[in-house]
Structure 1
């Protein structure tokens, strides 16, 4: 900065020459210097005030904005962060093929006690017993006065129970947030879903883990945060599942059966639209498995884990293999003269069908002797290989943890007599789901399908070919004749062309041999038979139809009417329109008016 001189020499000399006063020049310059200094100081002060005001404005604006955000957000209690991996509490939902919820989560609380904070243990124990009658007052008091400082009292409590505990006024009774697994449809699809329970637990969170069914099979997916809560979509149709469960429950009671199972599957994709096992349970309160016969346990899945000798429903496989090998045609006559003797074994028919029947009528009349003679032509090696292609030699690959426990029971020595008895469904035990897979693979045009509980959205890729399309069409025609004029006449459903085969197998005794008055009755069906879309398997355990003078246990009297009602209820829900023949007028009358 250049300072102005107070006594500039040129002006002083000029003022002296003109007789002026040089001191006036100095005074004037001094005044100007002071004014300039004052102006600069004022400008600096004003600038500092502006900056300070701007800082205050920004600070107040920030504080005000933050207060507004806090006021608009939901309140939450601060939590102290702890080291280690957090417990994952959120579990993805499970939905059906149409997006309807099968399993979801519900916020609740757990109840625990910190005994060091208890004021009046006796009053707390009395109060909790009034709220939770199943608790024992002496046991609670022992916990409250014992050496341990922490005890879980309830894994889940309702809001009403939580409020009642609050009103006890005991500071040692505390609540931990929880998510409970909720199945809003109750017992519908219970065996499929399985159920869930708590794994790792902490005061502020708990991990939900599957215990059975798809909940356990897809446990990693359902608990993976990387999926961002995307639901697991199953192939099940909730409406169809509920309808079949209701019909099957009624049929089981009407036929006095011990249990029942049903499988409805898409013949092309292998998608399971419904899988039912009765008796069932509520997965919201899953029971423990009972000791003794596993068939008596409600958690036992008859459709998947139940392996039975399924009877004459196997006959279509022997006929189809013989057609594929060129051993016979649909109209080839087969010797049905009985009994058929092999060593000490004698094979008889339920009725005397005469000396011979066509191959088609062997299926329609369900001749054991005829199908056994056909099986002898096929041979054990080829029969075993063919049933293996249909999936009868290994557990199904369906996405459930119980699938490996449903392994078929095969003969230790696949001899010629085994070949004959297996051809009509004795000597090899399989599950209803195995049977659904075999029928779908045989009747969909002849390509193998694998059952699945996941909805498939992409194009269907055909599996390995099992039989030719010609043989598949012939098998469907034979099964249609069984309903039209054979043992499954009660299976006719107007508007839906149903084809199927009955099977009645004596139940084996635990000590060996078979019961005389206990059977497994099965009806394996396909609809529409001319252009198959779905396979339905209905199995009844120890049914007895008592409307006549004598009890009737065969599948034609027990399983077939139940399956027909299932189709009648389920087909419209599946979007299948009934094929109603239009009435063709026999004559036309022309009238004229004037």
Structure 2
């Protein structure tokens, strides 16, 4: 910018010519220059004030519009949003089908230390070791007198322990609030619930994460704030579950078994009312998993879901039911039971010589291996495999537990004639007791497939029809006769019309072959037979009982009486009325039963030397 000079030469010369003072010209120029500067500053200030006024008007206008909008809208609870990462410590309760609490949260405190702030670290270490017996005073002293600035001492503790630590009076010992997961019923339903642990944690809060069972399977749902704290309602009944575990534990002790499994399931819905695996554990103090050895030796092992067992003669009802459905046989059809039966180099025998022929019904009642194989041969390998696959014996069950995929059945990769024969009576294919429960429920449900679930009241599509209703009903009739006059007579419970099948299978050795004196005994049942409502599976691992006839390991002498005791205890709890002469339903007999005595079933399969 070119500035106007204060003493222009032309004006100075003219002023001198007129005799005027040239300084007046400079003064006038200065005055004009100052006025121009002031005008420019004023215009700039006025612009700034106008801009600020516009901003204030706009801001207050937005606030006013927002206030008007809120005033005219429905009132809602404000939701806070935090952009930074935070620890979500809330977790919904888990309840049984009656709403009784199985898992909940409890406010507790953690204990941590700032060793550099301690006055008497040695005394504090000794005092903590007295309060918490699992802590070592020497190790604590080493940590407190070292260079550490922070250390965790206890992730959770009881109010009494907290008070005792407070009484130490050590300023370097500090408490942090947090929630912990509590299982008020202790061992009950421990394998179903699974357990929990801490994830991300700070001194003021900690994540509670599921580590197994439904706690792990529904971890995201249980932690989701969008559920507004609604509990997860399971299908199990706390009273039924507790009673099953008590009776099953007693039966396991009486039968000197290594382990035991019990399952009670509704046939129509597939909802599991009770599912026990023994030995069990306390989810409040979950033990560490085994790092070597047999996984089933750990109390964490869920035998009902993860166990893969050859389930023996409980499988015999499947080929018979399929043959009935295909109309290859009827309940009175004569089946060749001449023993021994040879398939290649293998010989298949029965426990006793039942003669040259039995009816199809008596093949099940007497538990004839040979008769079952004859029926399976009528069906054919391809149809046998297809039927077992439809029943669910080739895939893991979609039960709501993280352990479900580990319970995938062990299915033979090849299916020659001898495999088809052994699978027909429950050997060569290993599945979980829960697979067996689902398959028996399908037969008892009139042939419509049943899928087990641990969630109460969930609407699910109807399953596929696997068997005709007529064939399914006839199969249940056969199972009823197994209890009234066959291998499972010790499973009879007066008034509850128990129908079922025993199964005794030798345990395989890890190195190959089978043990001579170790078995898995199973009793699979439905009741009441006239209108099936429940499926009950009882499996004992390595049972042995001594009776009048000596030592026995068969399912008829071990699993069947334990199942009877459980049914006797549980049936009233589920509101099942016993059948008496007054309320006995009238059912037309489909065939005339043959009443004969029957010893316990047993596999006889050996190579033909």
Settle same-fold status: TM greater than 0.5. Answer: yes
Matches of 2:488 and 2:122, distance apart in 1: 69
CA 1:175–1:252: 2 relative to 1, 3 Å: same
Q: Does 1:359 align with 2:360?
A: yes
Task: Give the C-alpha shift of residue 457 in structure 1.
Answer: 5.1
Task: Give the C-alpha shift of residue 335 in structure 1.
Answer: 0.1
Q: Does 1:418 align with 2:419?
A: yes
Aligned to 1:296: 297
Q: Does 1:316 align with 2:302?
A: no
Secondary structure class of the residue paired with 1:452: coil
Matches of 2:122 and 2:254, distance apart in 1: 55
Deviation string, structure 1 residues 66-85 (Cα, Å, up to 9, x no partner): xxxxxxxxxxxxxxx99722
Aligned to 2:329: 328
Secondary structure class of the residue paired with 1:167: helix
Aligned to 2:162: 162
Matches of 1:394 and 1:583, distance apart in 2: 41
CA 1:225–1:281: 2 relative to 1, 3 Å: same
Matches of 1:122 and 1:302, distance apart in 2: 48
The answer to which of 287-296 and 346-355 deviates more is 287-296
Task: Give the C-alpha shift of residue 278 in structure 1.
Answer: 0.4
Matches of 2:167 and 2:518, distance apart in 1: 59
Task: Give the C-alpha shift of residue 116 in structure 1.
Answer: 2.6
Q: What are the within-5 Å matches in structure 2 for residues 559-578 of structure 1?
A: 559-578=559-578
Aligned to 2:533: 533
Secondary structure class of the residue paired with 1:551: strand
Task: Give the C-alpha shift of residue 362 in structure 1.
Answer: 0.3
Matches of 1:581 and 1:479, distance apart in 2: 21
Aligned to 1:18: none
Secondary structure class of the residue paired with 2:299: coil
Matches of 1:583 and 1:228, distance apart in 2: 47
Secondary structure class of the residue paired with 2:448: coil
Secondary structure class of the residue paired with 1:316: helix
Secondary structure class of the residue paired with 2:84: coil
Secondary structure class of the residue paired with 1:154: strand
Matches of 1:409 and 1:138, distance apart in 2: 51
Q: What are the within-5 Å matches in structure 2 for residues 389-408 of structure 1?
A: 389-408=390-409
Matches of 1:171 and 1:158, distance apart in 2: 20
Q: What are the within-5 Å matches in structure 2 for residues 575-586 of structure 1?
A: 575-582=575-582
Task: Give the C-alpha shift of residue 312 in structure 1.
Answer: 0.4
Task: Give the C-alpha shift of residue 451 in structure 1.
Answer: 0.7
Aligned to 1:198: 198
Deviation string, structure 1 residues 251-305 (Cα, Å, up to 9, x no partner): 0000111110011111111111111100111111011122311121100000100
Matches of 1:549 and 1:415, distance apart in 2: 39
Task: Give the C-alpha shift of residue 328 in structure 1.
Answer: 0.7
Aligned to 1:211: 211
TM-score (norm 1): 0.83
Q: Structure 2 unaligned runs (5+)? A: 1-80, 585-609
Secondary structure class of the residue paired with 1:341: strand
Matches of 1:295 and 1:159, distance apart in 2: 37
Matches of 2:542 and 2:384, distance apart in 1: 29
Matches of 1:165 and 1:491, distance apart in 2: 56
Aligned to 2:103: 103
Aligned to 1:42: none
Aligned to 1:239: 239
Aligned to 2:410: 409
CA RMSD of superposed structures (Å)? 1.5
Aligned to 1:443: 444
Task: Give the C-alpha shift of residue 461 in structure 1.
Answer: 4.1
Aligned to 2:27: none
Aligned to 1:175: 175
Aligned to 2:490: 490
CA 1:187–1:320: 2 relative to 1, 3 Å: same
Deviation string, structure 1 residues 65-106 (Cα, Å, up to 9, x no partner): xxxxxxxxxxxxxxxx99722211111100000000111111
Aligned to 1:132: 132
Q: Does 1:463 align with 2:457?
A: no
Matches of 2:398 and 2:461, distance apart in 1: 17
Matches of 1:582 and 1:96, distance apart in 2: 35
Matches of 2:420 and 2:269, distance apart in 1: 31
CA 1:455–1:82: 2 relative to 1, 3 Å: closer
Secondary structure class of the residue paired with 1:256: coil
Matches of 1:83 and 1:486, distance apart in 2: 69
Task: Give the C-alpha shift of residue 324 in structure 1.
Answer: 1.1
Task: Give the C-alpha shift of residue 134 in structure 1.
Answer: 2.3
Q: Structure 1 unaligned runs (5+)? A: 1-80, 585-594
Q: Does 1:340 align with 2:341?
A: yes
Task: Give the C-alpha shift of residue 583 in structure 1.
Answer: 11
Matches of 1:376 and 1:403, distance apart in 2: 32
The answer to which of 539-548 and 383-392 deviates more is 539-548
8 Å CA contact 1:379–1:416 kept in 2: the answer is no
Matches of 2:122 and 2:552, distance apart in 1: 64
Deviation string, structure 1 residues 430-470 (Cα, Å, up to 9, x no partner): 00000000011111011011111000254x64211000100
Matches of 1:222 and 1:151, distance apart in 2: 30
8 Å CA contact 1:544–1:553 kept in 2: the answer is yes
Matches of 1:389 and 1:134, distance apart in 2: 52
Task: Give the C-alpha shift of residue 549 in structure 1.
Answer: 4.5
Matches of 1:442 and 1:82, distance apart in 2: 54
Matches of 2:439 and 2:200, distance apart in 1: 42
Q: Does 1:277 align with 2:277?
A: yes
